[in-house]
Amino acid sequence: MFGGNVRISIHISECREYARSFHTTDFNSSITPNLLAQDHSLRQFYEILTNQHGLRSGLYFSFGYGRLYQEKDNNIKLKNGVKILTGVDKSVRFVEGNQSTGLVPALVLDGIKKTPFFNEETLMNFAAEMYTPGVPNPSIPNLNGKKFHDFIHCTEPTIKGLRLLRSNNTKTFTANGLSKQPVMYLRNGRMPPLVEAYKRLGINIRPDLPAVVLKSRSGIGFFPFEILYVTPNQKVPDSKLRPDQRLTVMKNSVVAPHIRHDEIERHMEALNLSESTFNPILASFGIRISKSPMMVEANRRIPPQISYSPKCFINVAPDKASWNAGNSRFTTPAKIDNFHLFYNKDCNENVITNFFHSLCSTAEKRGITFNKKFKKKVCPNELEANIKKVVMESSGEKNFFMYVDDQQYTHDQLKLYEALYQVVTQHVKYSTVRNVSHSLENIVNKMNVKNFGHNYHTVPENYAIKRWLSTGNTLVIGYDVCHPEPQSAVERRLNLISTQPSVIGFSFNAAKEPETFIGDYAFHEPRQEQVTSSILEGRMFHILKLFHEMRSKLPTLIIITRDGVSEGQHKMVMVDELEALRAGIQNYADFYKKPKYKPKIVLLIAVKRHNKRFFIETKKGEIQNCLPGTVIDHTITRVDATEIFMQSHKVIKGTGKIPAYTILVNEANMEMDELQAFINALCYNHQIITSAVSLPEPIYQADEWAKRGRNNFRTMYKQKLDKLPRKPNGKVDWDEVTNKLCYMDRKLELTRSNA
């Protein structure tokens, strides 16, 4: 970088100018109710301090904010050069405390975080494990002819972006890929051929292997596998995990409550954060951490009732958070003109015929009507042509397409056709069809809501009745952002324009039925958590327009639910995003000449991806999951904002995680009982299953809409990135991409097509 014979000296001296200082017992600046003026310095200091023993002892390494992983113990080896490491997710927060402690900083620690990392080993061994998986002592065979290209196809996607170390060198670099020719034909610049150059250094390299490519501003360099090592502590991106590896990670992450509880205590000991062993680092600052976790008394909310007809109310089983629909007809059954069941040629004809009859019979019992029904064998590569043909021949009629097969890629293709041609589609796995008795009801439930129907009404506790969705006066909006994987350091260094967007998913109850949540998605610049103001303004305007058209009135209360933001991003949501939404409301009021329209706004942040775990300890000392309806709104909650933890659903597997809700704005002055009852009822409005889900329906759907937008984009522009619309400066025109793939102002915008 600096050329030869350059000596650099760095002198560190005490800062003579004003430096930020704080006192370890002064919490005031950290807990001010004004979230825009909060100082997180003390909290960050505590978080750094509690890392020290684990890092200095070498038992843990740090990777990402608040995450520590064990380097040696409890590793799980996977195939293809991947291992699973166990770690913890750790943070510090200021909580209310109880009568004896008062305001207190609390250590939050969650154990058994299973994360895949690449093995630290020679690149030769790493590549051999990928190319010949499951073989003891794998090696790379001679790569003659087609085998060379097979090897590239198998290993390059994983090696590209991997950080590597050269032998006898402390410098690392990120691989840009593999050479298209074997080493025997390569040389670096004007140097001798690669094989000869390394032979002079006493290193024999295989001439049939490709070389690792390094691109830089000075040109392209080639490095043989034999001199390269995979550097340690590299997390495996999700896109590089094979389906079987992803499944293994998920299985190892699901553990019973008592096991997770024991692991948390084990990590507390290993990090020397409990009182069992003297910690000189903590002691030097006068800090001690209680070995016993905080105990808190929780409350339980009464579940809502479910209604399929005005005179029939079904009680929910409190400990199961579920109900039995019996033979109830749907509240609003769908009316389908043409039902087309397409299936792949690999499906058994008799199995499909039986499924078709059972499906239609069950649907009709629930009230769904079909004018015409068709069944046809269609290969995946003929699917689009068949859909287009039907659409052209039956213009103006409601067509519903269901496709049955077991292909991995068909689902994304079908959903892209839905967005492009604005026809309702449903994909059913053939493996599900063969054992359909357990899932037929769910398939029919989906069918109804996809086709402009509504399955049941939710009747909340009395606290929330006055402003519930059924009054037609309340608009609830959920939105979330789905990000692509970040660009590599090399791509950023070369200023390459990203061609993978972030996707904002929206969900809102602006359909004809007040309790029906519909939605859409929009694309914007990648890796920006803050949603572009123009998108929020425009979508708020459009949502109010739909609401007004469907209800013949405007909402008096707008509840905004935001997912996926940390405490540090609350300021961004309040200052930037909320003001953009307010601007959208004002724009609509001005456009429709309603200058006095000022709805009350409630802004709610919902987060499930946090590191706070709650357990029940029985009288016998058993550690169990919390029960449905559990609410914790004191002692361990934030001092500076209204925060509640509420679990609406029943945990089926593993250790449950109770969603955290933070109320940032409450212009409607909703009491805590009303707010909790309202949120709890929203978790029962999923419509697909007869039980509660873990998050309120608008947030649940917003996340699904964001994923749908991402998948539709990837399917549409897969290997066609050169066809992306561009702005004059060369950047991708994400607004144009949105217009091509979204549902706004199109035929299906008023139905829940992503069910």
pLDDT tens track for 143-152 = 998 999 999 9
The predicted model gives 665-682 an average pLDDT of: 98
Task: Note the pLDDT of residue 395.
Answer: 82
Model confidence pLDDT, tens digit, residues 451-509: 999 999 999 999 999 999 999 999 999 999 888 776 666 666 666 667 789 999 999 99
Give the closest residue to 400 by CA, choosing from 430, 374, 366: 374
Q: How many CB atoms within 10 Å of residue 641?
A: 16
Q: Per the domain annotation, does 312 fall within a domain? A: no
* Cβ contact 457:331 at 8 Å: yes
The single-letter DSSP state of residue 553 is S
| Furthest CA-CA distance within the chain | 90
b/e code 89-98 from CB counts within 10 Å (16+ = b): bbbbbbbbbe
Copy the structure tokens of residue 585. Answer: 């409301």
Copy the structure tokens of residue 282. Answer: 């903590």
> Could you identify the residue written with the tokens 């170390």?
165
The predicted model gives 395-423 an average pLDDT of: 94
> Which DSSP helix (H) or strand (E) runs through 562?
strand 557-563
Give the lowest-confidence range in 200-204, 228-232, 493-497. Answer: 493-497
Task: Note the pLDDT of residue 392.
Answer: 93
Task: Note the pLDDT of residue 528.
Answer: 66
Rounded Cα gap, residues 229 and 227, in angstroms: 7
| H helix runs in 52-188, sequence order | 52-56, 123-131, 146-159
Task: Pick the last residue of a domain from 425, 450, 475.
Answer: 450
Rounded Cα gap, residues 429 and 406, in angstroms: 5
Give the closest residue to 477 by CA, choosing from 634, 370, 585: 585
CATH of the domain at 387: 3.40.50.2300
Q: Please, how many CA atoms are within 13 Å of residue 529, restricted to the half-sphere of its CB?
A: 12
Rounded Cα gap, residues 642 and 634, in angstroms: 10
Rounded Cα gap, residues 472 and 464, in angstroms: 14
Rounded Cα gap, residues 632 and 623, in angstroms: 18
Overall pTM surpassing 0.75 (yes/no): yes
The predicted model gives 615-622 an average pLDDT of: 93
Model confidence pLDDT, tens digit, residues 326-355: 999 999 999 999 999 999 999 999 999 999
* Cβ contact 24:286 at 8 Å: yes
pLDDT value at 529 more than 70: no
Model confidence pLDDT, tens digit, residues 299-333: 999 999 999 999 889 999 999 999 999 999 999 99
Task: Pick the last residue of a domain from 201, 231, 261.
Answer: 231
Residue 598 makes CB contacts below 8 A (sequence gap 6+) with none
Residue 1 confidence class, pLDDT cut points 50, 70, 90: very low
The single-letter DSSP state of residue 140 is P
The strand ranges marked E within 567-658 are 600-607, 616-617, 623-624, 630-632, 642-647
Q: Per the domain annotation, does 152 fall within a domain? A: yes
Rounded Cα gap, residues 656 and 654, in angstroms: 6
> Which DSSP helix (H) or strand (E) runs through 589?
helix 578-591
Give the closest residue to 710 by CA, choosing from 423, 396, 412: 412
Rounded Cα gap, residues 555 and 562, in angstroms: 19
Task: Note the pLDDT of residue 650.
Answer: 97
Share of the chain above pLDDT 70, in %: 95
Task: Note the pLDDT of residue 712.
Answer: 95
Is residue 32 exposed (0-12), middle (13-18) or buried (19+ Cβ within 10 Å)?
middle
Residue 65 confidence class, pLDDT cut points 50, 70, 90: confident
Mean residue pLDDT of the chain comes to 91
Q: Per the domain annotation, does 175 fall within a domain? A: yes
Residue 375 confidence class, pLDDT cut points 50, 70, 90: very high
Residue 599 makes CB contacts below 8 A (sequence gap 6+) with 475, 554, 555, 556, 557, 558, 585
Rounded Cα gap, residues 4 and 319, in angstroms: 72
> Which DSSP helix (H) or strand (E) runs through 682?
helix 672-682
pLDDT value at 251 more than 60: yes
Higher pLDDT, 26 or 4: 26
| Alpha-carbon distance values, 371 to 336, 340, 395 (Å) | 6, 11, 15
Task: Note the pLDDT of residue 609.
Answer: 87
Rounded Cα gap, residues 302 and 293, in angstroms: 28
b/e code 16-30 from CB counts within 10 Å (16+ = b): eeeeeeeeeeebeeb
Copy the structure tokens of residue 101. Answer: 């402690």
| Alpha-carbon distance values, 227 to 108, 126, 206, 233, 600 (Å) | 43, 13, 11, 19, 65
Task: Note the pLDDT of residue 417.
Answer: 96
Task: Note the pLDDT of residue 493.
Answer: 62
Task: Note the pLDDT of residue 575.
Answer: 86
Give the torsion sign (CA, 45, 48, 51, 55). negative
Q: Per the domain annotation, does 501 fall within a domain? A: no
Residue 517 confidence class, pLDDT cut points 50, 70, 90: very high
Task: Note the pLDDT of residue 77.
Answer: 84
| Residue 309: strand pairing partners | 312
Residue 722 makes CB contacts below 8 A (sequence gap 6+) with none
Copy the structure tokens of residue 301. Answer: 């909310």
Q: Per the domain annotation, does 602 fall within a domain? A: no
What is the secondary structure of 449-512 as a DSSP string?
Answer: HHTT-B--EEE--HHHHTT-GGGS-EEEEEEEEEPPPPPPHHHHHTTPPP---EEEEEEE--SS
Higher pLDDT, 20 or 217: 217
Task: Pick the last residue of a domain from 196, 213, 231.
Answer: 231
* Cβ contact 647:679 at 8 Å: no
CATH of the domain at 193: 2.170.260.10
Q: Per the domain annotation, does 440 fall within a domain? A: yes
Task: Please count the helices (runs of H) and the strands (runs of E) in the chain.
Answer: 21, 29
Number of domains in the chain: 2
Full domain range(s) for residue 361: 333-450
Copy the structure tokens of residue 497. Answer: 């324009």
Q: Per the domain annotation, does 613 fall within a domain? A: no
Residue 354 makes CB contacts below 8 A (sequence gap 6+) with none
pLDDT value at 530 more than 80: no
Rounded Cα gap, residues 447 and 441, in angstroms: 10
pLDDT value at 573 more than 50: yes
Task: Note the pLDDT of residue 636.
Answer: 95
The single-letter DSSP state of residue 134 is T
Identity of the highest mean pLDDT range in 96-105, 126-135, 232-241, 452-461: 452-461
Task: Note the pLDDT of residue 495.
Answer: 65
Residue 609 backbone phi and psi in degrees, to 5: -85, 70
Q: Per the domain annotation, does 418 fall within a domain? A: yes
